[in-house]
Structure 1
Amino acid sequence: MLFNSVALLAVAAASVVVASPAAYEEIPYKQQFHEQYSVLKHYGGNGPYSDRRGVGIDPETPAACAVDQVIYLGRHGERYPDPSTGASQEAALKVVFANNKTLTGSLAFANSWTYFVPTAGSFAQETTSGPYSGLMSAHKRGSYYRVKYGHLWDGSSIVPIFSSGYERIIETARYFGLGFFGYNYTTNAALNIISENSSQGANSLTPTCYTNSADANCELTSSPTLAIFNQTAARLNKENGLNLTATNAYYLMQLAAFELNARGSSPWIDVFTLDEWYSYGYTQDLQYYYCSGPGLNTTNSIGSVFANATMTLLNQGPSAGTLFFNFVHDTNITPVLSAMGILVPSQDLPLEYVPFPHIYSTGDMVPMGGHLVLERMTCSATATSDAGVYVRVKLNEAVVPFETCQDGPGYSCGLQDYTTMLQEILPDYTTRCEVPAAYSQYLTFFWDYNKTTSLDFNFNTVPYQESYTLN
């Protein structure tokens, strides 16, 4: 008996010895959480699209629910810099090449590098080359949404697509429509171009305030406010005997982000350290926050136009339409987020240092091609929620729950609670922004849109608006 017990123990011990290496290799959940650094999250809105870093909520429609209406608010695709931005980048490059000598060290690649903007006419336009081509990414997004939300189109109805009246926005809307509708684009998509002129009043995708919205902090963020850029310039100057300023260094980093839009990679990325990139990303957060976000006193009023109109659509439901695709600039999306109370910091962002952590990260909010989606869901009862209609917000494909309303399936918000919440926090746009009586006092194009296909293709080019400086 003793012999058998010893034998069994020996067999068990042998089994453990054999199994242990495999057990370590096959551990089902990794226990290491590294920084997960990516430059794609640290250039603000200047570079290619990337999905938002989620909070662990399944972005797929909850099992108890069916999406019956979708409202999309998207930024244009990846693009070249505006002329004014390009001029600042070129000024920094002139300092780099001023001594007309062979560069060494981290800048050695620049001896054979060429600027990525092919012609002067390319400024402000979407890119058409590389893996992050702006027009290609718009088409891919449309194709993806056809798979995801195609059940909301009956295959024969005319579906409106709304674009603000700016060339790159219009082209994004067109390519998205081609991706979504495919061969049916020419017959079933009705492109509506909504002028960006301030005389539109409230009937606009790009509303403006007619009161003074100047903010001193917005002016300050037009140049780098963090000390680290002085150190960056000093490091590069010492390496090659240059005379770069902190502002020059800042625009070289910006150049790197834009180069990704056209070429897919940039040797300038590796010129700068991870700390410098994190700081650069924060400077972009500051610009959005104080110039078109919660830090500007008129932002919520501007964002309330879209928030109010879409709240009405959600309450009317599919009878008002099942698909509403809208295309604008980044600085037309951030006011909507702010007005709806999404990702609003509890305190203003400091100008002199980077707060850790902070939720207002524009690399996650409005990269090129960034988009906000409102899903209206009809849900059956579950163990934790009643049957009814719910609203869920997605930002760059990640679910973003409301802090005070998240008791529905998939952390959604009941439509009635959503409505009450917005009615309590949204300001009155026409009063706060003193909209002239001669201008429209309401957004109406969601209900009285053009149903023809006459604008679906670029037969009459919208002239480039040189004075328009939004990024």
Structure 2
Amino acid sequence: MVKPVIFAICLGVLLSKALSIPLRSFADIELIGSQKSLFPFLGGSAPYFSFPANYGIPTDIPEGCRLTQVQMIGRHGERYPTRSEAKDIFEVWYKISNYTGKYEGSLSFLNNGYEFFIPDESLLEMETTLQNSIDVLNPYTEEMNAKRHAREFLAKYGKLMENCTNFPIFTTNSKRIYDTAQYFAEALGDGFNISLQTLSENSSSGANTLAAKSSCPNWNSNANNDILMSYSRDYLENISDRLNDENKGLNLSRKDAAALFLGVPSS
């Protein structure tokens, strides 16, 4: 008889940002979800997508073995930009939205009633949901991604869960991470008694945490800055030059071009 499975589902940190679909016309519905080819070029600023190359452990069960336990480690889903990122985004949006001419070239979509994707500053750093997204047809909300992952998890491991209807989901005390855990739990359905166990991200937690950035004395967020700075940033100047050539007087800088990758739809 297969032993009951113990599920420890941990929600960690994801640097994925929120994108929204501009409100224009019903004719644009066909464009929703059609720009996934851009995601690999946006790094952590893209919505969730399955990485083309899989370097993980195969999920196929080896011959002669049977699966008796599953532990899943997840990350929080798509979110609105952080407050520090939003500062640069607001600056470039101020330039673009106050442009007095007709938008040309790559920015011509702004002539069709585009609505800025951050409707309220209170949403900064929050998870994207159907309720707080500008467009209810937005397929890239954290809420729906967390629920979709839960249904995929249930489809793959549901047989094991028949004998395990009571289990914890561990999450940090970050609201967006807690929300992801809650959406995941909700999507598993009413057949399970799930308890959300919250672990603090504070430095006092030491090793008893899911997010060790604050509690790890050796953490250095600038450790690889020298490697990053060795790469050319010329592409940013090329972007700003192109947009400025198409829209005389816009005067975007290289810094503005970089901010476009943080959430404002880039060209």
TM-score by length of 1: 0.43
2:244 corresponds in structure 1 to 237
1:72 corresponds in structure 2 to 72
Displacement, 1:96?
A: 2.3
Question: Does structure 1 residue 166 correspond to structure 2 residue 174?
Answer: yes
Following the alignment from structure 2 to structure 1, what is the Cα–Cα distance between the partners of residues 225 and 154? Answer: 39
Alignment of 1:390-429 (within 5 A): none
Following the alignment from structure 1 to structure 2, what is the Cα–Cα distance between the partners of residues 65 and 40? Answer: 37
The superposition leaves residues 429-464 of structure 1 with CA deviations (integer Å, 9 ceiling, x where unpaired) of xxxxxxxxxxxxxxxxxxxxxxxxxxxxxxxxxxxx
Partner AA of 1:145 in structure 2: F
Following the alignment from structure 2 to structure 1, what is the Cα–Cα distance between the partners of residues 254 and 103? Answer: 19
Displacement, 1:195?
A: 0.5
Following the alignment from structure 2 to structure 1, what is the Cα–Cα distance between the partners of residues 165 and 179? Answer: 22
Cα separation, partners in 2 of 1:118 and 1:153, compared to 1, 3 Å: same
Displacement, 1:131?
A: 1.2
Following the alignment from structure 1 to structure 2, what is the Cα–Cα distance between the partners of residues 162 and 58? Answer: 24
Candidates 194, 198, 222, aligned match of 1:193: 198
Candidates 203, 213, 223, aligned match of 2:220: 213
Question: Does structure 1 residue 51 correspond to structure 2 residue 50?
Answer: yes
Question: Does structure 1 residue 175 correspond to structure 2 residue 183?
Answer: yes
Candidates 207, 213, 238, aligned match of 1:202: 207
Cα separation, partners in 2 of 1:88 and 1:176, compared to 1, 3 Å: same
Question: Does structure 1 residue 91 correspond to structure 2 residue 91?
Answer: yes
Instruction: Tell me, yes or no, if the aligned pair for 2:127 and 2:142 is still in contact at 8 Å.
Output: yes
Partner AA of 2:220 in structure 1: S
Show structure 1 runs of 5+ residues with no match: 1-36, 257-267, 272-471
Following the alignment from structure 1 to structure 2, what is the Cα–Cα distance between the partners of residues 239 and 253? Answer: 19
Cα separation, partners in 2 of 1:64 and 1:53, compared to 1, 3 Å: farther
Question: Does structure 1 residue 251 correspond to structure 2 residue 259?
Answer: yes
The superposition leaves residues 224-263 of structure 1 with CA deviations (integer Å, 9 ceiling, x where unpaired) of 952211111111112212211111111113224xxxxxxx
Cα separation, partners in 2 of 1:125 and 1:213, compared to 1, 3 Å: closer
Following the alignment from structure 2 to structure 1, what is the Cα–Cα distance between the partners of residues 143 and 260? Answer: 25
Displacement, 1:157?
A: 4.7
Displacement, 1:151?
A: 2.7
The superposition leaves residues 273-324 of structure 1 with CA deviations (integer Å, 9 ceiling, x where unpaired) of xxxxxxxxxxxxxxxxxxxxxxxxxxxxxxxxxxxxxxxxxxxxxxxxxxxx
Instruction: Tell me, yes or no, if the aligned pair for 2:244 and 2:252 is still in contact at 8 Å.
Output: yes
Alignment of 1:116-155 (within 5 A): 116-129=117-130, 130-155=138-163
Partner AA of 1:190 in structure 2: S
1:105 corresponds in structure 2 to 105
Displacement, 1:154?
A: 4.1
Partner AA of 2:127 in structure 1: E
Displacement, 1:38?
A: 1.9
Displacement, 1:213?
A: 3.1
Instruction: Tell me, yes or no, if the aligned pair for 2:45 and 2:261 is still in contact at 8 Å.
Output: no
SS in structure 2 at match of 1:230: helix
The superposition leaves residues 18-59 of structure 1 with CA deviations (integer Å, 9 ceiling, x where unpaired) of xxxxxxxxxxxxxxxxxxx92121211222211121369975
SS in structure 2 at match of 1:189: strand
Show structure 2 runs of 5+ residues with no match: 1-35, 131-137
Displacement, 1:221?
A: 5.1
TM-score by length of 2: 0.72
Following the alignment from structure 1 to structure 2, what is the Cα–Cα distance between the partners of residues 214 and 109? Answer: 37
Displacement, 1:219?
A: 8.0
Following the alignment from structure 1 to structure 2, what is the Cα–Cα distance between the partners of residues 163 and 225? Answer: 38
Percent identical pairs in the alignment equals: 32
The superposition leaves residues 158-193 of structure 1 with CA deviations (integer Å, 9 ceiling, x where unpaired) of 21100011001001101111222x1134xx211101
Aligned residues: 219
Partner AA of 1:231 in structure 2: N
Following the alignment from structure 2 to structure 1, what is the Cα–Cα distance between the partners of residues 85 and 104? Answer: 27
Partner AA of 1:209 in structure 2: C
SS in structure 2 at match of 1:74: strand
Alignment of 1:335-346 (within 5 A): none
Following the alignment from structure 1 to structure 2, what is the Cα–Cα distance between the partners of residues 49 and 229? Answer: 24
Instruction: Tell me, yes or no, if the aligned pair for 2:105 and 2:243 is still in contact at 8 Å.
Output: no
Following the alignment from structure 2 to structure 1, what is the Cα–Cα distance between the partners of residues 54 and 218? Answer: 38
Displacement, 1:117?
A: 1.6
Partner AA of 1:102 in structure 2: K
Displacement, 1:212?
A: 7.1
| Two-structure CA RMSD over aligned residues (Å) | 2.7
